Homo-oligomer: A and B are copies of this chain.
Amino acid sequence: MFKGYVQIYTGNGKGKTTAAIGLALRAAGSGMKVFIAQFLKKRKCSEHKALERLSDLITIKRYGEGFVKAHPERKHILAVRKGIEEVKKIINGGEYNLVILDEINLLPSLKLINVEEIIDIIKNKPKIVEIVLTGRYAPEELIQIADLVTEMKEIKHYYSKGIKARKGIEY
């Protein structure tokens, strides 16, 4: 029987969300059911359209109201709360083997959730569920309880050359 662990993709480099999406594809290819919860992000990225072709295996939902500037607004808090409640049901529901919590690492520093609540979700997950957490600034407490942690480290980025985000590549 599949035994799930906890993975974290963090760091300032490109590739965190795409690594999670690639993992979703790999898992779906092996017949697993995958749930992707995207926090913060409001607009659909291009990958949504491609994922529609795999909608029997991969479910993707956004719980975002856009990136938070200085302080979170009520709409941000409500969106995160909705997402967290749904994600808890999904993780404990028994239908999904891989649950991706995209950008969740950022939420504690934005005061959108207490890190303890994320720890609680992880510690109480069923054994057959793999959880993947992405986003910059993963809190040390999450890194400690994760089984696998990769830091995507920016060595060089074309943004610094003034190249703007491109549809199909960055979003």
Which residues does A use to contact B, with CB under 8 Å? 2-3, 5, 7, 9, 11, 13-32, 45-51, 53-54, 57, 97-98, 130, 143, 146-158, 161, 163, 166-169, 171
Contacts and interface: CB of A to CB of B under 8 A. Distances in A.
B161 A156 contact: no
A127 to B, nearest CB: 13
A57 to B, nearest CB: 7
Contact of A21 (B3, B22, B149, B152): B22
Given A14-B150, A15-B150, A26-B169, 20 more contacts: A5-B158, A13-B152, A15-B22, A22-B23, A22-B47, A26-B45, A27-B46, A28-B46, A29-B45, A29-B46, A30-B167, A50-B54, A143-B155, A147-B156, A149-B155, A149-B157, A150-B154, A150-B155, A151-B152, A151-B155
What are the nearest 5 A-B pairs in CB distance?
A: A18-B22, A30-B168, A21-B22, A29-B50, A29-B46
Given A22-B20, A50-B54, A54-B50, A29 B168 contact: yes
A55 to B, nearest CB: 10
B48 A168 contact: no
A51 B29 contact: yes
B50 A169 contact: no
Contacts of A22: 15, 17-25, 47
B46 A169 contact: no
